[in-house]
Amino acid sequence: MESSPRTTHIVIVSVPAFSHQVSILEFAKRLLHLQANTFHVTCIIPTLSSSPSTSKPFFFQSLPQNIRCIFLPSVNFQDLDNNGVSVEVQLQLSVSRAMPSVRENLISLSNTTEITALIADAMFPEALEFGKKLNILSYVYFPCSIMTLSIFFHSQNLDEEVSCEYKDHPGLLQIPGCISIRGIDLPDSVQDRGSLAYKLFLQRSKQYLNAHDGILVNSFMEMEEEATKAISQHGHGDCHYPPVYSIGPITQSGSSGSKSGCECLLWLDKQKPNSVTYVSFGSGGTLSQEQINELALGLELSKHKFLWANFRAPNDKTSATYFSSDGCLVDDPLHFLPLGFLERTKGQGLVMCEWAPQVEVLGHKAIGAFLSHCGWNSILESVVHGVPMIAWPLFAEQRTNAALVTDGLKVALRPNVTSGNGVMVKKEEVVKLIKALMEGLEGEEIRRKVKEVKKFANCAMMEDGSSTRTISKLAQKWKSLGKSF
């Protein structure tokens, strides 16, 4: 009689943010691919009443059979004034309110199967305590850069060294192994040191330091080598860093499966190589009406081809649709574009409210630049496909990412902004950036740099690449502890 196959069961806990869900589930897919489906993954996902996951069914429907998602009952924020609560705080509150359901599901799973390891999203480090109680290996999945993780690790020192608000600090801040950074480019959650967001940031920083089994980071050694070395060498003193595993670049794979995506790609097929600027502000970014006008007119005046995807109605809050299921909250958001814009740019550009299949778009030969909000997923996708960027950060850690790709990796240009009724990128600056990337010598050097980083990214994910070896070593460790179902 044949013995039952050894299948290692891993449990993942995500948060109600689609960008986080995509990253951690793509890691699960990568794990299954490398291990020939000898793993079984259960992903527990808290949801909101407006959770974007419900509007992205194709991604979840296309997951391998060995990945099962458990969507928890919706958490709502009806008792909060969401307009005054940051994305980070809303995520943290969603985690707190979902904890009883997560605990209940973990206990139920542990009663029916042998769980080898728990991997919790970086916004849910409290789940590590559940792992300890179940006596299983417990990890944090950090979907951002090593530089951002370094800021968390270094946060207590920064808190002691800087007496003013970080945005008012006159000099550059030093983070071990990282580029020097302006205080204003630190994540949003630290910009008001008297806020709840800052308190939660410091709390998470301490929790990361207690992630004794390790932190999985969606980056790769060759892109952030010095930062990675600085963390790995931090083995002395009172504060030891946990093991950090670079397992990236983990990016979304597969087709969008949508009709709008096909139409978008057909339009790109008609354009010349490297001639189109792709514009997208991710799954939650929004612009004010004034900024929409300036960006649109800048695209028009540049005389270069453009594809503006996921266009949304204006909102003065940059993260207005981060938790909503639909970025197009009105019947026809295109009427918020400048009068006559669509008619004047017919043939020059395409504006679409629907999601574009971003991985396929960035891999298209027609794309010559990416005007991006600098979400980490988008940066990795751009790097993997060797597309230079215009860094246009909006919220969360996006300004930190923008500093990394412009000042550190030198694969992007960043706009100069004007202050008035808020921060504004004027149309003249948009024209200047597009022309610099698409025409100038500066653009040539940036394209050379990004092609170099692309090569390193591809090498990291090869069979003997640095990230593949790291994932394989983790998998072997987990398999050695796994038991038969």
Q: The whole model's pTM is what? A: 0.94
Same domain, 157 and 272: no
Domain span at residue 415?
A: 259-458
Q: Tell me, what CATH number does 385's domain have?
A: 3.40.50.2000
> What pLDDT is recorded for position 355?
85
Q: What is the DSSP string of 154-223?
A: THHHHHHH--S-GGG-SSEEP-TTS--EEGGGS-GGGSSTTSHHHHHHHHHHHHHHT-TT-EEESS-TTT
pLDDT at 261: 66
**Same domain, residue pair 243 and 286:** no
Statement to judge: residues 180 and 144 lie in one domain = yes
User: Residue 328: its pLDDT value, please?
Assistant: 47
Q: What is the Cα–Cα distance from 292 to 427, expressed in whole angstroms?
A: 10
Residues 242, 313 within the same domain = no
**Is residue 293 domain-shared with residue 335, that is, in the same domain?**
yes
pLDDT of residue 423: 78
Structure tokens belonging to residue 330: 């009105």
User: In this structure, which amino acid lies at residue 58?
Assistant: F
- Residue 44 covered by a domain: yes
Q: Based on the domain organization, do 124 and 66 belong to the same domain?
A: yes
Both 227 and 339 in a single domain? no
Structure tokens that stand for 61 in this block? 């429907």
Q: Are residues 348 and 202 in the same domain?
A: no
Q: How many residues does the chain have?
A: 485
What's the pLDDT at 160? Answer: 96
Say if 254 falls within a structural domain.
Answer: no
Residues taking part in catalysis? 20, 121
Are residues 212 and 313 both part of a single domain?
no
- 3 assigned to some structural domain: no
Q: Across 248-308, where does the E strand assignment appear?
A: 276-280, 305-308
Residue 57 belongs to a domain: yes
Per-residue pLDDT of the chain (485 residues; tens, 9 = 90+): 344 557 899 999 999 988 999 999 999 999 999 988 799 999 999 988 755 443 466 788 889 999 999 999 887 666 665 556 777 787 888 888 999 999 999 999 999 999 999 999 999 999 999 999 999 999 999 999 999 999 999 999 999 999 999 999 999 999 999 999 999 999 999 999 999 999 999 999 999 999 999 999 999 999 999 999 999 887 544 568 999 999 999 999 866 556 556 889 999 999 999 999 999 999 889 999 999 999 999 999 999 999 999 999 999 888 756 665 444 455 689 999 999 999 999 999 999 998 899 999 999 999 999 999 999 999 999 999 999 999 999 999 999 999 999 999 999 999 998 655 567 999 999 999 999 999 989 999 999 999 999 999 999 999 999 999 999 999 999 999 865 33
Residues 234 and 278 in one domain: no
User: Comparing C-alpha atoms, which of 368, 354, 164 is closest to residue 268?
Assistant: 368
Of 250, 213, 244, the closest CA to residue 127 belongs to 213
244 and 371 share a domain? no
Do 225 and 368 have their domain in common? no
The total of structural domains in the chain comes to 2
**Residue 2 resides in a domain:** no
Strand partners, 172: 182
- Give rounded-to-5 percent helix, strand, coil for the chain: 45, 15, 40
| Whole-number pLDDT of residue 193 | 97
For 373-413, strand residue ranges (E) read 389-391, 412-413
For residue 336, what is the enclosing H or E element? none
Domain contains 12: yes
